[in-house]
């Protein structure tokens, strides 16, 4: 489903190279965890997948369902099924969360050639999804992410992910700022989305989240490259022994 | 060459899409010859069948006007207007004063139909369709849930029809064209006309006083809550014609009225002049809410054509505990020069100004308000949101003053500007003048651009760039949109989106 | 409004024009300088600015300047102790500089009369805009002052105090300072005296790359004097200017501040205090141009208005199209303590670049009743408590200057004012 080939990318503003020859393949139905120490390029990778203009791909390619996405803008990538759950979701004053969800869901439908959702159906879907995440509907009447706590923001991200039904989900440090109860709810939400035609990429610094979202594969990112791949035991190994060992082996 | 053709098509497309009200209508017109003189004023006054005091009032204003110069202080630039090269009166021929809808030229009715303005009462009674957005949004505090709106339609120089007159009359509310009011209610007009904006007020107001042709008149008697929204719809159709409407709204003790105003004009290469005067008078405990959605033709993508909009709007909180609230959404006009103001004369009176001004292309906006605190315990609130895109210049200019006797005057001002693109300008010019030690003024202003982070976030959810910007902008202006009656709010949001089309390069 | 009028010359205008003819033979200057003087007096002949001129909206100079004193060659003020102890003092007494120039390493001082005579100052005499009445007045009549050049890399350990002292009549003074690359200095501009003088004073400051200057304007004219002053600065790359302005005197005062950031990374800070009393008029007008990318500015003005005083702050921040990433913030807070006093504020933003963060805030208030109550509940009587709060309101701005000697010196000036006007 996702194939990253020898990817090199740098920050447009100052030319700093962050991703240096990264290779990664994620199949449909797979949950892949990307781990790595701070500054290894994890968040940058998520931004590049979503098409952020602050980064420039200088070499290599990203194939999604066999086709390059490099020329697509963020909205096109999103309607083709790529979803990024942000580490720091943006606050957008004045924009009602419900209104935003409706517009976003209908954009997905438009891309698939479907009619816009009828209001009752839309409301039902949002209510069901919110209930499954233990979210209060009152929260959704507020402006998008404005005044949400860290945990509320993360839950709202997963809510959006559920509603937009993406094919490739990228979760950037979704566990940060969550207490254990919230973490379980979020993980349940993600697990419920596991399906044979969907891939999930979980970016995390710690093994903590992976106790609840058990990955099929684990990849260690260091200095903009995947230096080691393995199954879920690799995560446990990292937790026990730290990154130093793996980095040492690679060097 | 295909590339050139492509450009032409694109420009054409932008024009047509962006200004969907740009059609012209062929209607037989009765026009005054070009130019301005005492004879023309006599002609207008005679056409309107006015009493002699009205003619004298106009002539007085005209004699004053010829001694005045155009004001230069606003941040707008335009070639000198030749005031002798305009028609000062144009009226559809079929209207010696229609008394019912059946008298109105069907072609004219079609114009309003095309504009989406319902003039047939039975259609309005059928109810305005609820939009789907409103269903899950919190109910607004709008009192007119029924969606019934009485409309006064003004086509160039004359009012063509006013709806719901009968029902309003039962409540004691007078809602008619100002021409009719001059004939039918001279004592009210004499008492209030020019009492807020005197004939000597400023260049454009003085011109208007001399040549105004039509507009609306509202009188809500003591203790009456006007049973429905009142609305005037202005349409400027004739070429080389100035539109000079005059609106006068009086709310007696304890009365309440909400009034809406909408404007459009056809697309023309020449600039058209619009110089209106609006006067509001609120007596003790009265409240007037005045909302405007101004969408005059802004000119094409190269800045050719468009309306010059020089408007004087002022409300007088004459009575104690009275309240006047201005809400405006300004998306049109090549030039906007407009400062709806409140004179807070009565003790405990309050004034509000909520404004959204969107400029794109080569539009120039210089708009804001004046809050003049004269009475004790008066308060005012100003929320202004300016959005500049393209090559436009967008200026907020506002004055807040507390006079010696204005004990405990309070003002809160917030003006935020948003810039889209690096060829436009946003300017803030607030004047604050305090002459009373108990006055408390608070002013905040910010200027920024749409954050790239916000835009990326919204686009990541599959929303294309232009829509993402429109969404963020609509969030930015939310505080003001909320002040509009529901039907207008939805329309205004769409209008803002349309106005910003083509702003993303 | 807008009625055609043919202005008649006011007595002040006539007096200035006549004085120019009288003084002409005494004014130093080569051909270039004299041409500038001619242009300047022409500008005055076309009339002093009125409230119709936007930048003079709240200070109608034509109306407010009711009379102009004659030049008084006998006036002889004496140099006074500097604000900060140990400063090197450059006195200008009744418009005349001292022939005895200090000898400080890294500093070259020249009398301005010499630079007028040889014409080297001529380009600096141009007006900065169409409505530059103070510049015109000064250019027409200026006879002396100083030019100070601080060499690259010089770090002064003591302030330089430029003392402009009057004892009546007219004085027109110009101070020019260039601060070389990487140099660091504290400069005090002292404006005071004892007479009912008409003073015009223009200061020009040029900051080279990386220069770091704190400039303090301490204006304490008597309430009979008219003080028309201008401070102009260009900020080069990575330079830093902290300008502190204290107005605590004068009958009719206008202090203009004209600052341009000309190099990337330049940083401008303005802190101002206006202490207004009696029947006086004080106007601080700033025009700040951000002309290059990545520059920053903050301005905080605090005003205390008592008696029948009228105060004005106009602050205009222009962000030019090329000046992306500008960060500008301005605040003007006023305590209006008298029903007969008034304060007018016009904080303008003119923005042509889109990637900027700019804002301003302004408040006019009375003393916070909660604060007052709190102090009184602790047994402090009302008058003392009020004085305490008012002083705290302005002292806050002074305390931001992180040099202890300067803070102490300025607080002493503040105390003097409160003692005189408490």
Q: Which residues of chain B neighbour C344 with C-beta distances below 8 Å?
A: 431-434
pLDDT score, position B135:
35
Q: Which residues of chain B neighbour A83 with C-beta distances below 8 Å?
A: 460
Residue B423, both tokens: 């060829």
Give the max Cα distance, chain A: 58
Query: Which of C287, C316, C329, C336 to mutate to test binding with chain B, by most B CBs within 10 Å of its CB?
Result: C336
> Given an 8 Å threshold on Cβ–Cβ distance, is B457 in contact with A123?
no
Q: What is the 3-state secondary structure (H, E, C) of B264-305?
A: ECCCCCCEEEECCEEEEEECCCCEEEEEEEECCCCCCCCCCC
- Run means of pLDDT, 10 residues per run, chain B, 505 residues: 40 44 60 84 88 93 91 85 83 52 61 58 39 35 47 66 78 89 93 91 91 90 90 71 88 94 67 88 96 83 83 95 94 89 96 93 92 96 93 93 93 92 89 91 88 91 90 89 80 79 65
Half-sphere exposure of B397 (CA within 13 A, CB side): 16
Half-sphere exposure of A190 (CA within 13 A, CB side): 33
The neighbour count for residue C388, using CB atoms within 10 Å, is 15
pLDDT score, position B92:
61
Q: Please report whether residue C313 resides in a domain.
A: yes
Taking phi first (over 0 means left), then psi (-120 to 50 degrees means alpha), and beta for anything else, what does residue B176 get?
Answer: beta
Q: Which residues of chain B neighbour C5 with C-beta distances below 8 Å?
A: none
CA nearest to B488, candidates B181, B147, B235: B147
Domain span including residue C264: 12-370
Residue B164, both tokens: 């719901």
pLDDT band at C65 (very low <50, low <70, confident <90, very high): very high
Q: In what order do the strands lie in the sheet with A67-68?
A: A17-26, A2-11, A55-64, A67-68
Q: Please report whether residue C391 resides in a domain.
A: no
Average pLDDT over residues C388-414: 89
Q: Which residues of chain B neighbour C357 with C-beta distances below 8 Å?
A: 446-448
Count, residues in chain A:
251
How far out from the chain centre does Cα C50 lie?
Answer: 20
Q: Which sign does the torsion angle of CA B95, B99, B102, B106 carry?
A: positive
> Given an 8 Å threshold on Cβ–Cβ distance, is A100 in contact with B461?
yes
pLDDT score, position C120:
92
DSSP-derived 3-state class of residue B475: helix
C322-354, pLDDT tens digit by residue? Answer: 888 888 889 999 999 988 999 999 999 888 888
pLDDT score, position C352:
87
Query: Which of A75, A117, A168 to mutate to test binding with chain B, by most B CBs within 10 Å of its CB?
Result: A75
Q: Please report whether residue C399 resides in a domain.
A: no
In DSSP terms, which residues pair with A218 in a beta bridge? Answer: A33, A230
> Given an 8 Å threshold on Cβ–Cβ distance, is A111 in contact with B471?
no
pLDDT score, position B131:
34
The pair phi, psi for residue B257, each rounded to 5°, is -150, 140
CA–CA distance, C215 with C246 (Å, rounded to integer): 11
**How many A/B residue pairs have CB atoms within 8 Å?**
91
Residue B351, both tokens: 């004034």
CA nearest to C330, candidates C318, C315, C345, C319: C315
- The ipTM (two decimal places) reads 0.87
Residue C335, both tokens: 């305590």
DSSP-derived 3-state class of residue B17: helix
Chains touching chain B at 3 or more Cβ pairs under 8 angstroms? A, C
Query: Which of A11, A43, A48, A74 to mutate to test binding with chain B, by most B CBs within 10 Å of its CB?
Result: A74
Chains B and C contact (Cβ–Cβ under 8 Å for 3 or more pairs): yes
Q: Which residues of chain A neighbour B453 with C-beta distances below 8 Å?
A: 90
**Searching chain B, which residue's CA lies closest to the CA of residue C336?**
B437
Say if B72 is an interface residue toward chain A (CB within 8 Å). Answer: no
Residue B11, both tokens: 């420009």
Q: What is the 3-state secondary structure (H, E, C) of B410-431?
A: EEEEEEEEEEECCCCEEEEEEE
Instruction: Dump strand ranges (E) for B134-203.
Output: 149-155, 158-162, 174-177
- Beta strand B425-434 with B379-389: parallel, antiparallel or unpaired? unpaired
Query: Which of B205, B407, B447 to mutate to test binding with chain C, by most C CBs within 10 Å of its CB?
Result: B447
**Searching chain C, which residue's CA lies closest to the CA of residue B440?**
C365
CA–CA distance, C329 with C338 (Å, rounded to integer): 29
C-beta of residue C217 within 8 angstroms of C-beta of residue C253: no
Taking phi first (over 0 means left), then psi (-120 to 50 degrees means alpha), and beta for anything else, what does residue C146 get?
Answer: beta
How distant is the Cα of A28 from the closest Cα of chain B, in angstroms?
Answer: 21
Q: Which domains occur in chain A, in start order?
A: 2-250 (3.40.50.300)
Show Cβ contacts of residue C311 under 8 Å, excluding neighbours closer than 6 positions: C274, C276, C281, C282, C283, C303, C305, C334, C341, C342, C343, C344
> Given an 8 Å threshold on Cβ–Cβ distance, is B434 in contact with C343?
yes
> Given an 8 Å threshold on Cβ–Cβ distance, is B478 in contact with A111?
no
Residue C2, both tokens: 């807008």
pLDDT score, position A251:
59
In DSSP terms, which residues pair with C227 in a beta bridge? Answer: C199, C253
Q: Quote the radius of gyration of chain C (alpha carbons, Å).
A: 21
Q: Please report whether residue C230 resides in a domain.
A: yes
pLDDT band at C317 (very low <50, low <70, confident <90, very high): very high
Q: Which residues of chain A neighbour B479 with C-beta distances below 8 Å?
A: 94
Residue written as token pair 């305090």:
B434
Question: In chain C, how many domains are there?
Answer: 1
DSSP-derived 3-state class of residue B377: coil
pLDDT band at C380 (very low <50, low <70, confident <90, very high): confident
Q: Please report whether residue C302 resides in a domain.
A: yes
**Searching chain A, which residue's CA lies closest to the CA of residue B482?**
A94
The neighbour count for residue A189, using CB atoms within 10 Å, is 23
CA–CA distance, B366 with B359 (Å, rounded to integer): 10
Percent of chain C whose pLDDT exceeds 90:
73
**How many B/C residue pairs have CB atoms within 8 Å?**
125
Binding-site residues on chain C for chain B (CB distance < 8 A)? 1-4, 54, 57, 321, 324, 334, 336-339, 341-366
A107-144, pLDDT tens digit by residue? Answer: 899 988 999 999 899 999 999 999 988 888 888 888 88
Say if B458 is an interface residue toward chain A (CB within 8 Å). Answer: yes
Q: Which residues of chain B neighbour A74 with C-beta distances below 8 Å?
A: 456, 459-460
How distant is the Cα of B474 from the closest Cα of chain A, in angstroms?
Answer: 7
Start-end of H helices in A176-251: 180-192, 232-250
Residue written as token pair 């200027």:
B447
Show Cβ contacts of residue B401 under 8 Å, excluding neighbours closer than 6 positions: B370, B371, B372, B373, B431, B432, B433, B434, B435
In DSSP terms, which residues pair with B154 in a beta bridge? Answer: B159, B234
Show Cβ contacts of residue B138 under 8 Å, excluding neighbours closer than 6 positions: A141
Of B133, B465, B467, the CB nearest to A73: B465
C-beta of residue B474 within 8 angstroms of C-beta of residue B385: no
C-beta of residue B299 within 8 angstroms of C-beta of residue B306: yes
Angle at B492 between CA B422 and CA A148, to 5 degrees: 75
Segments in chain A below pLDDT 50: none
How distant is the Cα of C115 from the closest Cα of chain B, in angstroms?
Answer: 40
């Amino acid at each position: 489903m996702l194939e990253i080939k020898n990817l090199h990318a740098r920050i447009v503003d100052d030319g700093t190279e962050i991703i240096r020859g990264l290779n990664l393949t994620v199949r449909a139905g797979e949950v892949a965890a990307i781990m790595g120490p701070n500054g290894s390029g994890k968040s940058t990778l998520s931004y590049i997948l979503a098409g952020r203009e602050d980064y420039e791909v200088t070499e290599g390619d990203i194939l999604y369902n066999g086709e390059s996405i490099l020329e697509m803008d963020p909205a096109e990538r999103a309607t083709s099924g790529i979803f990024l759950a942000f580490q720091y979701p943006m606050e957008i004053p004045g924009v009602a969360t419900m209104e935003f969800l409706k517009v976003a869901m209908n954009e997905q439908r438009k891309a698939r050639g479907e009619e816009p959702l009828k209001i009752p159906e839309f409301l039902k879907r949002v209510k069901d999804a919110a209930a499954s995440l233990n979210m209060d509907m009152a929260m959704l009447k507020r402006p998008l992410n404005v005044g949400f706590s860290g945990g509320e923001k993360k839950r709202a991200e997963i809510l959006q992910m559920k509603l937009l039904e993406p094919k490739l989900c990228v979760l950037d440090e979704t566990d940060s700022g969550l207490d254990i109860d919230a973490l379980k709810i979020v993980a349940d939400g993600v697990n419920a989305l596991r399906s044979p035609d969907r891939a999930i990429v979980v970016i995390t610094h710690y093994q903590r989240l992976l106790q609840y979202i058990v990955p099929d594969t684990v990849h260690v990112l260091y200095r903009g490259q995947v230096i080691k791949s393995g199954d879920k035991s690799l995560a446990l190994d990292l937790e026990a022994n730290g990154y130093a060992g793996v980095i040492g082996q690679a060097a | 060459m295909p590339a050139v053709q492509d450009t032409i098509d694109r420009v054409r497309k932008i024009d047509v899409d962006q200004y969907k009200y740009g059609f012209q209508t062929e209607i037989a017109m009765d026009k005054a010859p070009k130019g301005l003189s005492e004879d023309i004023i006599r002609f207008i006054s005679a056409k309107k069948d006015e009493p002699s005091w009205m003619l004298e009032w106009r002539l007085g204003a005209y004699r004053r006007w010829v001694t005045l110069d155009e004001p230069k202080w606003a941040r707008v630039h335009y070639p000198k207007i030749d005031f002798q090269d305009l028609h000062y009166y144009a009226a559809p021929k079929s209207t010696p004063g229609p008394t019912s809808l059946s008298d109105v030229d069907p072609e004219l009715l079609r114009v309003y139909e095309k504009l989406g303005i319902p003039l047939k009462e039975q259609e309005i009674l059928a109810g305005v369709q609820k939009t789907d957005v409103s269903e899950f949004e919190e109910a607004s505090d709008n009192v007119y849930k029924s969606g019934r709106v009485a409309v006064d339609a003004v086509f160039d120089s004359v009012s063509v029809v006013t709806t719901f007159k009968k029902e309003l009359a039962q409540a004691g509310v007078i809602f008619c064209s100002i021409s009719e009011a001059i004939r039918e209610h001279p004592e009210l007009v004499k008492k209030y006309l020019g009492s807020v904006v005197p004939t000597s007020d400023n260049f454009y107001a003085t011109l208007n006083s001399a040549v105004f042709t039509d507009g609306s008149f509202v009188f809500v008697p003591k203790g009456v809550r006007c049973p429905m929204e009142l609305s005037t719809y202005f349409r400027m159709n004739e070429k080389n014609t100035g539109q000079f409407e005059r609106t006068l709204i009086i709310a007696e003790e304890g009365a309440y009225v909400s009034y809406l105003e909408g404007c459009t004009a056809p697309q023309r290469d020449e600039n058209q002049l619009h110089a209106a005067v609006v006067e509001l008078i609120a007596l003790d405990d009265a409240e007037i809410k005045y909302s405007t959605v101004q969408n005059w033709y802004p000119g094409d993508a190269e800045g050719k054509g468009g309306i010059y909009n020089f408007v004087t709007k002022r409300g007088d909180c004459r009575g104690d505990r009275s309240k006047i609230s201005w809400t405006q959404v300004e998306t049109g006009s090549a030039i906007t020069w407009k400062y709806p103001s409140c004179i807070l004369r009565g003790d405990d009176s309050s004034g509000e100004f909520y404004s959204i001004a969107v400029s794109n292309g080569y539009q120039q906006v210089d708009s804001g308000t004046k809050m003049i605190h004269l009475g004790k315990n008066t308060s005012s609130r100003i929320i202004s949101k300016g959005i500049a895109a393209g090559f436009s210049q967008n200026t907020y200019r506002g004055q807040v003053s507390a006079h010696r006797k204005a004990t405990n005057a309070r003002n809160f001002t917030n003006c935020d500007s948003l810039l889209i693109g690096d060829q436009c300008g946003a300017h803030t010019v607030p004047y604050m003048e305090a002459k009373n030690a108990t006055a408390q003024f608070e002013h905040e202003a910010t200027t920024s651009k749409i954050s790239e982070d916000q835009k990326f976030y919204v686009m990541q959810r599959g929303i294309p760039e232009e829509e993402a910007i429109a969404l963020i902008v609509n969030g930015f202006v939310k505080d003001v949109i909320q002040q509009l009656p529901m039907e207008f709010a939805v329309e205004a949001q769409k209008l803002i989106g349309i106005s910003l089309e083509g702003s993303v390069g | 409004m807008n009625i055609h009028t043919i202005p008649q010359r006011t007595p002040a205008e006539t007096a200035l024009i006549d004085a120019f003819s009288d003084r002409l033979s005494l004014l130093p200057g080569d051909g270039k300088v004299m041409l500038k003087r001619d242009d300047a007096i022409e500008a005055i002949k076309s009339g002093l600015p009125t409230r119709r001129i936007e930048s003079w909206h709240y200070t109608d100079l034509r109306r407010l300047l009711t009379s102009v004193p004659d030049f008084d060659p006998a006036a002889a003020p004496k140099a006074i102790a500097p604000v900060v102890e140990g400063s090197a003092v450059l006195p200008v007494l009744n418009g005349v500089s001292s022939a005895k120039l200090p000898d400080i390493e890294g500093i070259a001082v020249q009398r301005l009369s010499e630079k007028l005579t040889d014409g080297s100052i001529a380009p600096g005499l141009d007006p900065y805009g169409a409505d530059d009445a103070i510049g015109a007045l000064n250019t027409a009549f200026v006879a002396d002052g100083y030019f100070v050049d601080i060499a690259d890399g010089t770090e002064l350990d003591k302030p330089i105090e430029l003392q402009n002292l009057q004892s009546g009549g007219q004085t027109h003074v110009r101070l020019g300072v260039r601060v070389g690359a990487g140099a660091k200095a504290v400069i005090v501009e002292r404006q005071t005296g004892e007479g009912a003088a008409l003073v015009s004073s223009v200061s020009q400051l040029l900051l080279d790359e990386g220069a770091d200057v704190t400039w303090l304007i301490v204006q304490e004219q008597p309430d009979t004097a008219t003080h028309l002053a201008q401070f102009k600065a260009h900020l080069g790359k990575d330079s830093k200017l902290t300008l502190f302005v204290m107005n605590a005197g004068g009958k009719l005062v206008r202090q203009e501040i004209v600052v341009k950031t000309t190099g990337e990374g330049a940083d401008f800070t303005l802190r101002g205090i206006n202490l207004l009393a009696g029947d006086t008029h004080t106007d601080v007008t700033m025009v700040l141009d951000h002309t290059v990318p990545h520059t920053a500015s903050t301005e905080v003005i605090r005003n205390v208005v008592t008696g029948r005083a009228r105060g004005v702050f106009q602050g205009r921040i222009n962000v030019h199209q090329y000046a992306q990433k500008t960060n500008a913030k301005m605040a003007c807070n006023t305590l209006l303590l008298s029903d007969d006093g008034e304060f007018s504020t016009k904080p303008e933003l003119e923005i042509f670049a889109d990637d900027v963060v700019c804002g301003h805030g302004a408040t006019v208030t009375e003393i916070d009743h909660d604060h007052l109550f709190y102090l009184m509940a602790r047994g402090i009587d009302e008058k003392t408590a009020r004085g305490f709060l008012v002083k705290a309101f302005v002292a806050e701005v002074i305390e931001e200057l992180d040099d202890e000697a300067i803070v102490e010196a300025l607080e002493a000036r503040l105390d003097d004012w409160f003692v005189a006007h408490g």
